[in-house]
């Protein structure tokens, strides 16, 4: 190996490890200028350009590296990651597939392949990729979370729940999994279990107004109006510009046949989110007050 090549790579690596990516890039570019057929040099250029957010230059560098070798799984994998970040999911999938074809043990390629397929709504392919990753890494909480989310998005909430519980076995404070678990439990008619999950999530992130609003909705579905109002009030206090707690509180007051308070909240909800006006026309929560003059004037005019 040429001493000048080694020296430039070593210098670049030193700067790279120190976080000085501009100087690292300068040295790596010198490598490929002097040794244009050097795969390692082009790969290092590409990875550094990614960090510097120079997307087009990174793509060109990956292309140069892959012109020189087609059997390096890591290059395909890293190129796929860049393409995944810029939402070029189809080309990312192609890179991950080539990476896997070259090295079937590169587990993260399966994981990111699952993400790319899910972004394109290719449910079966995404599920297959996540399952393959989990066959290699059976204790990876994030993979179970992504698999659970995929299943939730395809209305397979029972299977999603299994995966969220697995996440929580591995990482009991995974707040996103707790929230998704609560939603799936609610959708499968298990409101009591859903509330336990929401309350745990709220204990981890108590300032999350959406969680408080969701919890209120679960109480509303159970016809526990006082608890529903308690959580809608908390959500509203945290985020007074969010239309949803106003709307959901209006629904609660309407069910309680308190037309004035329902109308007051509904007016504010519509002000912040005009689509609620059309939605309220068919929302059965307002059945008790739909014949009142105030509701008719607000919604029907």
Higher pLDDT, 4 or 111: 111
pLDDT 10s digits, 102-121: 999 999 999 999 999 999 99
Mean of per-residue pLDDT scores for the chain: 95
| Local confidence band at 3 (pLDDT 50, 70, 90 cut-offs) | low
Among the ranges given (2-11, 188-197, 244-253), the one the predictor scored with the smallest mean pLDDT: 2-11
- pLDDT for 279-292, tens place per residue? 999 999 999 999 99
Report the alpha-carbon distance of residue 58 to residue 67 in Å, rounded.
14
Per-residue pLDDT tens over the stretch 163-198: 999 999 999 999 999 999 999 999 999 999 999 999
User: In sequence order, which residues have a C-beta less than 8 Å from that of residue 93 and are 6 or more positions away?
Assistant: 80, 113, 116, 117, 120
Q: What tens digit of pLDDT does each residue of 25-61 get?
A: 999 999 999 999 999 999 999 999 999 999 999 999 9
Share of the chain above pLDDT 90, in %: 94
Rounded to an integer, the average pLDDT of 241-249 is: 98
User: Under a CB-based contact definition with an 8 Å cutoff, are residues 183 and 149 in contact?
Assistant: no
Three-state helix/strand/coil letters over the chain: CCHHHHHHHHHHHHHHHHCCHHHHHHHHHHHHHHCCCCHHHHHHHHHHHHHCCCHHHHHHHHHHHHHHCCCCHHHHHHHHHHHHHCCCHHHHHHHHHHHHHHCCCCHHHHHHHHHHHHHCCCHHHHHHHHHHHHHHCCCCHHHHHHHHHHHHHCCCHHHHHHHHHHHHHHCCCCHHHHHHHHHHHHHCCCHHHHHHHHHHHHHHCCCCHHHHHHHHHHHHHCCCHHHHHHHHHHHHHHCCCCHHHHHHHHHHHHHCCCHHHHHHHHHHHHHHCCHHHHHHHHCHHHHHHCCCHHHHHHHHC
- Tell me the per-residue pLDDT of 118-155, one tens digit each, with 9 for 90 and over: 999 999 999 999 999 999 999 999 999 999 999 999 99
Both structure tokens of 132: 């393959």
Is the model's pLDDT at 94 over the cut of 60? yes
């Amino acid at each position: 190996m040429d001493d000048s090549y080694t020296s430039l790579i070593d210098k670049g690596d030193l700067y790279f490890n120190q976080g000085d990516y501009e100087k690292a890039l300068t040295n790596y570019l010198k490598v490929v200028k002097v040794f244009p057929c050097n795969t390692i040099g082009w790969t290092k250029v590409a990875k550094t350009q990614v960090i510097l957010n120079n997307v087009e230059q990174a793509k060109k560098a990956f292309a140069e590296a892959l012109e020189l070798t087609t059997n390096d799984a890591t290059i395909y994998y890293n190129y796929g990651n860049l393409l995944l970040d810029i939402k070029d999911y189809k080309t990312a999938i192609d890179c991950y597939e080539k990476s896997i074809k070259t090295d079937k043990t590169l587990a993260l390629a399966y994981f990111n392949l699952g993400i790319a397929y899910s972004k394109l709504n290719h449910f079966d392919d995404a599920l297959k990729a996540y399952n393959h990753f989990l066959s290699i890494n059976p204790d990876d909480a994030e993979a179970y979370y992504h698999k659970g989310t995929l299943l939730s998005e395809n209305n397979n909430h029972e299977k999603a729940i299994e995966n969220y519980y697995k996440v929580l076995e591995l990482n009991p404070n995974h707040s996103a999994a707790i929230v998704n678990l609560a939603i799936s439990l609610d959708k499968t008619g298990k409101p009591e279990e859903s509330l336990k999950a929401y309350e745990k999530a709220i204990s981890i992130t108590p300032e999350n107004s959406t969680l408080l609003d969701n919890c209120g909705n679960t109480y509303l579905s159970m016809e526990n109006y006082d608890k529903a109002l308690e959580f809608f009030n908390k959500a509203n206090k945290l985020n007074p510009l969010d239309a949803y707690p106003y709307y959901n509180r209006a629904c609660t007051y309407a069910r309680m046949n308190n037309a004035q308070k329902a109308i007051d909240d509904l007016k504010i909800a519509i002000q912040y989110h005009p689509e609620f006006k059309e939605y309220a026309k068919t929302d059965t929560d307002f059945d008790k007050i739909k014949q009142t003059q105030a509701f008719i004037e607000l919604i029907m005019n």
